[in-house]
């Protein structure tokens, strides 16, 4: 690990490069994943809308495939190719666009194996961007992973740092089930230590970011940073927090969450998505059902309010969970 | 040159095109300063398409737009002041600051919104024109969409639906040669380079016109809209045009030939072409054109000032208008 810290987006790029080197059946499909197709200029001008796939086309010109703006067709083709021996990585630029292609995941990829009596293997991975905070408004800021996690047969992966992003993406691509991999756009420039070599992180293993005896905070993606900030502040007042980053919400590492709540007796779940039918309510529900006896206070949820993402900066700031809101929720469990 | 447009109409059309150009060029400058939030896609260079079509429409006619929506808004009569404030995320914006550049809408003007989802417009306008047809009020629906969007399944399905239901609907394809960095030569191989050929396959009249020639667009749109108003069904109009800025503000545009935009600005600018045509035909004086330019410049200047000084939305706006009922 002698090298400098690298960015989250470079970690993702590296995971794809290593997988493509290791396995010829790995292909990438998406919009402008190389770029300049059909022009007289050099290819790889874009490397995806934020440059995450940049540099892969020159290495694997036959396997980095620009598609027309036809999400239903190319996400579906990633599914179909994967059911026929390829290991496709489809890039759905923004997760908000899943509305255009959901059937191919929801009714097709997710259900093949079960419907076909265990005979199908569909090792497709769909990478897609989530997250608010950029004044990108209602159709480019959502975090709709709970809709995918709600579907038996799909796995939902949500990394919070560069190290996890690389290991989890490698694991997703190598996984034989359909995986949806959610990348928070605010994390792309986050830097961290990432080994150069290939490694994987098992899907379904939470990361315990820090341990403390008073409160268990469960947070995902960008919310992990906010939770850390809140925990730091509370530590000054003698309140010690455990922070758990589930990293995947399907499968969910219930044991790690339960055993932490058994120790702390208090739970705060932080999620950038909504409380209604979301990850936060789900975790609170499971904990209440399974380790109710350990709870010293009502579990708290810190989520976005039940509205689309507003454009105006002041409204968007009010919309997003932040360290202050997390701190308040934690204090509530301590009352 | 011949045209049935009166001098007044000509000046009105020119003013609209100038408003779009001035507005977009100014947003470009403001964005570069870092004063504007979010994603912004500019329409400079494509003015003749939006204006050539919308000059035939009234407030009862509906249009659906794209991520590159400012031009359609202005052409459909949405006020510049509200639009600028919306782009700044202010309370006085067309949508109260809750939508931004990609979602400017003014339903009273028949403008059903810019759109963040490529290919979302065609089905919506199929519905709008179905409503027109059932209400029998003679109104029509127009969907603007790009060469990239033409590959979206929603577009193919809507073409078929429009023909099946004989809808008063016009498909206006803005073929500006790129979808982000991808050329339709790669993504929309239709043999002839005219994406309009696809529409003919669905059984509707389809034409390809020079989208930088206001009069060519105006004529094609006039014929299509009149046919639709009379119950003659849908039409597809492909307009070949050019965007002058990047896909979004901040795009380095390495996929474009170096002088492409410079040449287009010099030799194929829709505003220059319009001004040259009407002045050399003696229909409008050069001084009148210049007067419009000046007035619009001042108007946009004022819109920016007002937007900068306008208040942010009130915080309770966050929870409002998720539903009608609460
Ligand atoms: C469903 C969906 N897919 C992809 C995008 C990202 N995107 C925004 S604009 C665009 C290119 C659109 O090209 P075109 O239709 O030609 O319109 P132009 O930008 O040239 O006006 C893409 C891929 C999106 N907003 N929605
Ligand atoms: Mg285009």
Residues in B touching A135 (Cβ below 8 Å): 37-38, 89, 100
pLDDT digit string (tens) for B246-286? 999 999 999 999 999 999 999 999 999 999 999 999 999 99
Residue A150 is a catalytic residue: no
Residue B27 placed within a domain: yes
Q: Which atom of ligand 1 is nearest to the CA of B116?
A: 25
Contact B180 A31 (CB under 8 A): yes
Instruction: State residue A101's pLDDT score.
Output: 97
Alpha-carbon distance values, A139 to A97, A108, B309 (Å): 8, 25, 27
A315 lines ligand 1 (CB under 6 A): no
B155 lines ligand 1 (CB under 6 A): no
Q: How does DSSP classify residue B235?
A: E
Pocket perturbation via mutation, ligand 1, pick of B69, B180, B245 by most ligand atoms within 8 A of CB: B180
- The whole-angstrom separation of Cα B70 and Cα B87 is 10
What is the rounded average pLDDT of the residues A167-190?
98
Instruction: State residue A108's pLDDT score.
Output: 98
Measured in residues, chain A has a length of 335
Residue B204 placed within a domain: yes
Residues in B touching A307 (Cβ below 8 Å): 318-319, 322
Number of domains in chain B: 1
Continuous segment of H or E residues that includes residue A272: strand A267-274
Compute the mean pLDDT over every residue in chain A, rounded to the nearest whole number.
97
Instruction: State residue B219's pLDDT score.
Output: 98
Compute the mean pLDDT over every residue in chain B, rounded to the nearest whole number.
97
Domains of chain A, start order: 6-192 (3.40.50.970), 207-334 (3.40.50.920)
Closest protein CA for atom 5 of ligand 1: B118
Residue B313 placed within a domain: no
A163 lines ligand 1 (CB under 6 A): no
- The whole-angstrom separation of Cα B315 and Cα A291 is 38
- CB distance A10 to A163 below 8 Å: no
Within 10 angstroms of residue B232's Cβ, the number of other Cβ atoms is: 14
Residues in B touching A136 (Cβ below 8 Å): 38-39, 102
Q: Find, among B325, B315, B307, the residue nearest to B94 by Cα.
A: B307
Question: How far, rounded to the nearest angstrom, does the alpha carbon of residue A197 sit from its chain's CA centroid?
Answer: 22
Chain B: nearest CA to A328, how far in angstroms?
Answer: 20
Residue B323 placed within a domain: no
Residue B43 placed within a domain: yes
Which single residue is written with the structure tokens 């400058």?
B29
Chain A: nearest CA to B37, how far in angstroms?
Answer: 6
Nearest CA in chain B to A312: B89
Residue B1 placed within a domain: no
Judge residue A222's burial from the number of C-beta atoms within 10 Å of its C-beta, 0-12 exposed, 13-18 middle, 19 or more buried.
buried
- Entry pTM: 0.97
Tell me: pLDDT of B236 over 90: yes
Tell me: pLDDT of B10 over 60: yes
Q: SS3 sequence, A212-263?
A: CCCEEEEECCCHHHHHHHHHHHHHCCCCCEEEEECCEEECCCHHHHHHHHHH
What is the rounded average pLDDT of the residues A92-116?
98
- The whole-angstrom separation of Cα B326 and Cα B317 is 13
Residue A324: half-sphere exposure toward Cβ, Cα within 13 Å:
4
Q: Which residues pair with B106 in a beta bridge?
A: B111
DSSP per residue, A36-68: -TTSSS-S-SSSSTTSTTTTHHHH-TTTEEE--
Tell me: pLDDT of A2 over 80: no
Tell me: pLDDT of A1 over 60: no
What is the rounded average pLDDT of the residues B20-32?
97
Residue B321 placed within a domain: no
Q: Where are the alpha helices (DSSP H) in chain A?
A: 8-22, 56-59, 71-82, 102-103, 112-115, 145-149, 162-174, 223-235, 254-264, 279-290, 313-319, 323-334
A102 lines ligand 1 (CB under 6 A): no
What domain range includes position B92? 7-308
Q: Find, among B39, B46, B30, B2, the residue nearest to B242 by Cα.
A: B46
Tell me whether A289 touches chain B (CB under 8 Å).
Answer: no
Tell me: pLDDT of A165 over 80: yes
CATH of the domain at B93: 3.40.50.970
pLDDT digit string (tens) for B49-79? 999 999 999 999 999 999 999 999 999 999 9
Instruction: State residue A79's pLDDT score.
Output: 98
Quote the tokens at residue A59: 């290495």
Residue B241 placed within a domain: yes
What is the rounded average pLDDT of the residues A194-218?
98
Instruction: State residue B35's pLDDT score.
Output: 87
pLDDT digit string (tens) for A3-48? 899 999 999 999 999 999 999 999 999 999 999 999 999 999 999 9
pLDDT digit string (tens) for B129-177? 999 999 999 999 999 999 999 999 999 999 999 999 999 999 999 999 9
Identified catalytic residue from A140, A150, A184, A286: A140
Alpha-carbon distance values, B58 to B12, B138, B184, B225 (Å): 14, 11, 32, 11
Tell me: pLDDT of B1 over 80: no
- Counting residues of chain B whose pLDDT is more than 70, the rounded percentage is 100
- CB distance B307 to B100 below 8 Å: no
């Amino acid at each position: 690990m002698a090298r400098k810290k690298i960015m989250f987006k470079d970690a993702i790029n590296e995971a794809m490069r290593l997988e493509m080197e290791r396995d010829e059946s790995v292909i990438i499909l998406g919009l402008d994943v190389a770029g300049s197709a059909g022009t007289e200029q050099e290819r790889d001008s874009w490397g995806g809308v934020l440059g995450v796939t940049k540099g892969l086309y020159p290495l694997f010109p036959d396997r980095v495939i620009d598609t027309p703006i036809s999400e239903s067709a190319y996400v579906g083709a990633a599914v179909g190719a994967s059911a026929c021996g390829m290991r496709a990585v489809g890039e759905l630029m923004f997760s908000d666009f899943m509305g255009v292609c959901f059937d191919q995941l929801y009714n097709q990829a997710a259900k093949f194996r079960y419907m076909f009596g265990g005979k199908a293997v569909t090792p497709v991975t769909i990478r897609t961007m989530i997250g608010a905070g950029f004044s990108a408004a209602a159709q480019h800021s959502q975090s709709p992973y709970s809709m995918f996690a709600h579907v038996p047969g799909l796995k939902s992966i949500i990394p919070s740092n560069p190290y996890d992003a690389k290991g989890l993406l490698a694991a997703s691509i190598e996984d034989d089930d359909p995986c949806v991999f959610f990348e928070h756009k605010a994390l792309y420039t986050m830097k961290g230590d990432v080994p150069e070599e290939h490694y994987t992180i098992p899907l379904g293993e939470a990361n315990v970011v820090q341990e403390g005896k008073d409160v268990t905070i469960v947070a995902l993606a960008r919310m992990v940073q906010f939770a850390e900030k809140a925990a730091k502040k509370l530590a000054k007042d003698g309140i010690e927090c455990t922070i758990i980053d589930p990293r995947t919400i399907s499968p969910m590492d219930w044991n790690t969450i339960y055993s932490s709540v058994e120790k702390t007796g208090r739970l705060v779940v932080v999620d950038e998505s909504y409380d209604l039918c979301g990850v936060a309510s789900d975790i609170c529900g499971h904990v209440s059902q399974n380790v109710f006896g350990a709870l010293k206070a009502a579990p708290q949820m810190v989520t976005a309010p039940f509205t689309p993402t507003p454009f105006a900066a002041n409204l968007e700031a009010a919309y997003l969970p932040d360290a202050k809101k997390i701190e308040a929720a934690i204090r509530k469990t301590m009352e | 040159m011949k045209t049935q447009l009166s001098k007044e109409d000509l000046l009105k059309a020119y003013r609209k095109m100038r408003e779009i150009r001035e507005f977009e060029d100014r947003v470009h400058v403001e964005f570069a300063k870092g004063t504007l939030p979010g994603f912004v896609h500019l329409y400079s260079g494509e003015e003749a398409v939006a204006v050539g079509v919308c000059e035939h429409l009234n407030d009862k006619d509906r249009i659906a737009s794209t991520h590159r929506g400012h031009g359609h808004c202005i052409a459909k009569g949405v006020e510049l002041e509200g639009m600028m404030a919306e782009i700044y995320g202010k309370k006085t914006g067309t949508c109260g600051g809750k939508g931004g550049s990609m979602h400017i809408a003014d339903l009273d003007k028949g403008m059903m919104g810019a759109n963040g989802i490529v290919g979302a417009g065609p089905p919506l306008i199929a519905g709008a024109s179905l409503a027109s047809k059932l209400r029998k009020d003679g109104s029509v629906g127009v969907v603007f969409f790009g060469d990239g969007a033409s590959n979206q399944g929603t577009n193919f399905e809507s073409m078929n639906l429009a023909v099946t239901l004989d809808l008063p609907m016009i498909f206006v394809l803005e073929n500006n040669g790129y979808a982000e960095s991808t050329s339709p030569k790669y993504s929309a191989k239709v043999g002839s380079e005219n994406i309009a050929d696809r529409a003919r396959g669905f059984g509707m009249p389809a034409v390809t016109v020079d989208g930088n020639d206001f009069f060519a667009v105006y004529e094609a749109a006039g014929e299509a809209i009149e046919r639709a108003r009379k119950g003659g069904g849908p039409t597809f109009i492909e307009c070949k045009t050019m965007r002058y800025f990047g896909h979004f503000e901040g795009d380095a545009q390495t996929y474009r030939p170096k002088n492409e935009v410079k040449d287009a600005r010099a030799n194929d600018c829709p505003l220059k072409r319009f001004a040259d045509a009407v002045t050399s035909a003696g229909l409008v004086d050069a001084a009148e054109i210049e007067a419009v330019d000046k007035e619009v410049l001042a108007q946009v200047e004022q819109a920016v000032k007002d937007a900068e000084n306008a208040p942010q939305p009130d915080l309770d706006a966050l929870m409002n208008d998720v539903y009608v009922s609460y």
